[in-house]
Amino acid sequence: MSADRIPVAILGATGLVGQHMIRILADHPWFRIGELAASDASTGHVYRDVARWALASELPADIAGMAVKASHGGFESTLVLSALPSEPARREEPRLARMGSVVCSNASAFRMDPDVPLLVPDVNPGALSLTAGQPWATAGGALITNPNCTVAGLAPVMAAMEAHWGIESATTVTLQAMSGAGIDGLSALSMAGNVIPFIPGEEEKIGAESSKILGRDIPMAVTVNRVPVADGHLAHLFLRLGKPAHPRVVEEALRSVTPAPPARDLPTIPSRTLQVLSPTDRPQPRLDVQAGNGMKVSVGRIRRVPGYDIALTVLVHNLVRGAAGACIANAELAVAAGVFTREGKRGRSGEQGA
């Protein structure tokens, strides 16, 4: 890795998504961690002392000793990865974009804003062009979002189905992992040996974000469940299509989903977006969530069922393809597409601004 990797700032660095960002960036060919930021309670402390590292892989030694900055402060790095909760994201992200930073955000705060890309590099890379119309574009800033963790899994599958057959309507039931609720989001006693058939706000997001990525309103019925699985959201999808689709042909179409350039050349995007599994009892979180280092979406159980043209089952690593990896891939695309340049664009950080 070259010494001149681009420094990035991670906001919300102590949470689970922030931890996965750190894990992925420890070995990244283009980026290095320049700054870590979190809430005021952590500010000024050393990272290892305030982050309750929750991953099975070790906290990289060089990151452990970094001082944590305040998310509401300024950063030397003008490439920013935000793992902030929605509320602080709403405050800090536009502020930093206005100062000329390119902010890649995992937060839901601005995902549905018309001029904000809801971007998946190997699905809708063109959405990135929305940044040109953002108010802070002249300052060199940009705000780019990745979708909700479940939508990150549904999007590449639905986009392929839409492209080949057109989707008339979709029904999905999800079985979502505990890590989607954060380190302390769920009580052990309530989840052990149990299913909770509801997650606040989740069903609305899945419908709305899927439509935004596909570029048109698709009627979508959604029911979500929290299940006692650590990582990996499973989604059963029933589709009505514009024309008939044979399961074998669908399987073939999904197997051949390949990232187009420039997504094809991004370090975090796998050579194939989807892993199509033939055994009738797959995908399973335990066996398949790590496919492609967590960046491949798994698909199985492709079949016809009464009342629909096709049914299938999707599995996504909610914290990697669904969050940290998605956000990093978006930053990679911003670099590859020239939205972010090392020198800044038209005076990033406002030094030469208006």
Q: What positions carry a catalytic annotation?
A: 149, 233
Q: Please tell me whether residue 22 adopts helix, strand or coil conformation.
A: helix
Cα 185 to Cα 17, 177, 180, 190: the distances in Å are 13, 11, 8, 11
Helix (H) or strand (E) holding 149: helix 149-165
Task: Choose one: 50-58, 78-86, 115-123, 256-264; the region binding its own copies (CB under 8 A).
Answer: 50-58
Cβ closest to its own copies, residue 54 vs residue 137: 54
Q: Please tell me whether residue 285 adopts helix, strand or coil conformation.
A: helix
Cβ closest to its own copies, residue 114 vs residue 193: 193
> 87, 184, 252, 265: which one contacts its own copies (CB under 8 A)?
184
Cβ closest to its own copies, residue 107 vs residue 222: 222
Cβ closest to its own copies, residue 11 vs residue 167: 167
- Residue 278 phi/psi, 5-degree rounding, is -90, -35
CB of 106 to its own copies, least distance (A): 18
Q: Please tell me whether residue 144 adopts helix, strand or coil conformation.
A: strand
Is residue 244 a contact residue for its own copies (CB under 8 A)?
Answer: no
Is residue 193 a contact residue for its own copies (CB under 8 A)?
Answer: yes
Is residue 236 a contact residue for its own copies (CB under 8 A)?
Answer: yes
Is the Cα torsion angle 273, 214, 104, 353 positive or negative in sign? Answer: positive
Task: Choose one: 91-99, 101-109, 183-191, 241-249; the region binding its own copies (CB under 8 A).
Answer: 183-191
CB of 169 to its own copies, least distance (A): 5
DSSP 249: H
Cα–Cα distance for residue pair 354/350, rounded to 1 Å? 8
Is residue 291 a contact residue for its own copies (CB under 8 A)?
Answer: yes
Cα 130 to Cα 142, 155, 208, 223, 329: the distances in Å are 9, 19, 18, 31, 17
326 is written with which tokens? Answer: 């998605």
User: Is-contact 170 218, C-beta < 8 A?
Assistant: yes
CB of 172 to its own copies, least distance (A): 9
Site for its own copies in 299-328 (CB under 8 A): 300-301, 305-308, 311, 313
Closest to 56 (Cα-Cα) out of 99, 16, 7 = 16
Site for its own copies in 116-155 (CB under 8 A): none
CB of 99 to its own copies, least distance (A): 35
Is residue 24 a contact residue for its own copies (CB under 8 A)?
Answer: no
Sheet holding 79-82, edge to edge: 68-70, 31-38, 6-11, 79-82, 102-105, 142-145
Binding residues vs its own copies (CB under 8 A): 53-58, 169, 171, 173, 175, 178-179, 181, 183-198, 207, 219-223, 225, 227-230, 234, 236, 238, 280-287, 289-291, 300-301, 305-308, 311, 313
